[in-house]
Amino acid sequence: MHSVAASILSALLSYQQQYPTPKRYVVAYSGGCDSHALLSALNELRDKVNGQLPCSNLAAIHVNHGLHADSDQWEAHCRATCHELDIDFNSIRLSLAIPKGESIEAYARAARYKAIRETLIDDDMLLLAQHQDDQAETVLLQALRGSGVKGLAAMPELICNDTTWQARPMLSLSRLEIEDYAKRQDIDWIEDPSNLDEKFDRNFLRHQIIPTLKQRWPAMAETFARVARHQADADQILNELALSDWQCCRLDDRYQLNTTAMAKLSRLRQKNLLRFWIGDQCGYPMPDTTTCQLILDQVIDARPDAEPELRWSDVVVRRYRQVLYLEKYSAAESQWQQDWDFTDTLILPGGEKLQARLVEGQGLSLPEEQNSISVRFRRGGEKCQLPGRSHRHELKKLLQEWGIPPWQRDRIPLICIDDQVAQIVGYSLCEPFIARAGQMGHEIYINE
């Protein structure tokens, strides 16, 4: 067995010590040397080496970006190769419009991974063909960008998602080892000319910088791979610390943190917690180093009577009454209004879905005669008579009484009947629109 196939087999077997055996290995197959070598080695392990693969069900996914004149020929080549090897083949065609100012390489890569992930089924293990030299290039690029521990950890060897896995079983192999294997196997691979274009940072490093570094430090790629592993270990420790801190500072809503509890942490732990909360727990774009510091200085540490906020990308973080709030930014829609008869779902300006269902003895009761039913937001001057109270109160004072943050008050849907507030959705019904025993009412709720 060639050392490349043996190394891949060893990696796949090691994964089974952590996770169940996948039902299918799916190779991200571009047709280039690396992915073709991975596919060939898997086929060899499946069919020729006593069936040593933990799973013998193989498939390949090819993404046709349509960015090169030969894209269709490359797709046909990959299809023919898989047919010859008796491997299931799936091709995904993308129609990319690269936004102005975006990196073509980064944008195409993100679109490719997104498309591939969407085709995976439960218990698939996606296999990527990056190797040790790719890892070294990634570490260098991240260092030049000023990345921290997470960035310098570069490409993880194994990621477990909800129902699938993603693995890189060739990270311990060098480019030369893989090319030697490809030549020994007489593999006919595709050469993408864009890999020679040095306007891309990775190609510039690969062709101009790394060869010089290797002359002085021949084991450079292996050394940088070790750096990535050390940083991955450090990142795991930081995540474990952040998880512990988050559990001490979290509230019932995962988009909120208790700033009083945060104040008991050191500044470095606060930064670590913010990154963990924003990225890992809420799934929002990570702020850069400067923005992260501004969250600490201008939002968390703002004077007690202030209502600070800070935006980046399409995300905003705010503080109100010792609570830190994180959410997608949306502009106020004070003039928005929509008629609604409760039969269909109503889409609110922020994307939330307003729905209604019939219930008995509770919910919103409609008078027999009314001119109109509409949904809108607060504009000022609205009043509501709460259940059990003898007179109406200004909506502004009720929202303050309930401790609703100021920026959320103008985004609470109001059900209005003949322009009178009948329900403050999510908070209270208003008299006289409350269904009584034996009456049918409408339970109105927001489904995000």
**Does residue 46 lie in a domain region?**
yes
40 pLDDT more than 80: yes
Lowest-confidence pick of 168-182, 290-304, 355-369: 355-369
The domain boundary, picked from 221, 238, 264, lies at: 221
Q: Which domain holds residue 306?
A: 250-328
Q: Specify whether 31 is located in the same domain as 180.
A: yes
Residue of 28, 40, 92 lying closest to 66 (CA atoms): 92
Residue 162's region, left for phi above 0, alpha for psi from -120 to 50, else beta, is: alpha
d(CA 16, CA 159): 13
Say if 322 falls within a structural domain: yes
132, 12: one domain: yes
In a domain, 238, yes or no: no
CA-wise closest residue to 329 among 349, 347, 345, 303: 349
What CATH number did the domain enclosing 263 receive? 1.20.59.20
Facing residues of 166 across strands? 126, 159
Average pLDDT across the chain, whole number: 91
User: Structurally, how many domains does the chain consist of?
Assistant: 3
**Final residue in a domain of this structure, among 275, 303, 328:** 328
Above pLDDT 70, what percent of the chain? Answer: 98
Q: Is residue 242 part of a domain?
A: no
Say if residue 360 is in the same domain as residue 217. Answer: no
Residues 317 and 347 in one domain: no
Question: How does pLDDT run across 277-326, given as a tens digit for each residue?
Answer: 999 999 999 999 999 999 999 999 999 888 899 999 889 999 999 999 99
Same structural domain, 43 and 167? yes
Confidence of residue 349 (pLDDT cuts 50, 70, 90): confident
Question: Of 308, 328, 348, which residue constitutes the final position of a domain?
Answer: 328
Cα–Cα distance measured from residue 77 to residue 114, given in angstroms and rounded to the nearest whole number: 23
Say whether both 208 and 279 belong to one domain: no
CB-based burial, 396-417: b 16+ in 10 Å, e otherwise: eebbeeeebbebebebbbbbbb
In this model, does residue 87 exceed pLDDT 90? Answer: yes
What is the band of 443 on the pLDDT scale with cuts at 50, 70, 90? Answer: very high
Give the confidence band of 215 by pLDDT, cuts at 50, 70, 90.
Answer: very high
**Mean pLDDT, range 154-166, rounded to an integer:** 93
> Is residue 392 assigned to a domain?
yes
Mean pLDDT of 328-349: 86
Mean pLDDT of 188-200: 87
Weakest mean pLDDT among 104-118, 123-137, 201-215, 300-314: 104-118
- Is 228 or 448 the better-scoring residue by pLDDT? 228
Q: Are residues 20 and 129 in the same domain?
A: yes
Same domain, 343 and 322: no
Residues 44 and 163 in one domain: yes
User: Mean pLDDT, to the nearest integer, of 420-443?
Assistant: 92
Instruction: Tell me, yes or no, whether 32 and 112 share the same domain.
Output: yes
Kindly state whether residue 236 falls inside one of the protein's structural domains: no
Q: What is the pLDDT of residue 341?
A: 87
pLDDT score, position 121: 94
pLDDT classification of 97: cutoffs 50, 70, 90 = confident
CATH of the domain at 165: 3.40.50.620
pLDDT tops 90 at residue 139: yes
Q: To the nearest 10°, the Cα dihedral for 272, 277, 278, 280?
A: 100
pLDDT of residue 309: 93
pLDDT > 70? residue 226? yes
Check whether residue 214 and residue 279 sit in a common domain.
Answer: no
Do 292 and 365 lie in one domain? The reply is no
pLDDT over threshold 90, residue 370: no
Does the pLDDT value for residue 66 go beyond 90?
no
Task: Say what the pLDDT of residue 50 is.
Answer: 62
The pLDDT value given to residue 33: 95
CA distance 164 to 154: 21
Prior bond of 308 cis (ω within 30°): no
For the entire predicted model, the pTM comes to 0.77
Within-domain flag for 239:
no
Q: What is the mean pLDDT of residues 167-187?
A: 95
Residue 228 in any domain: the answer is: no
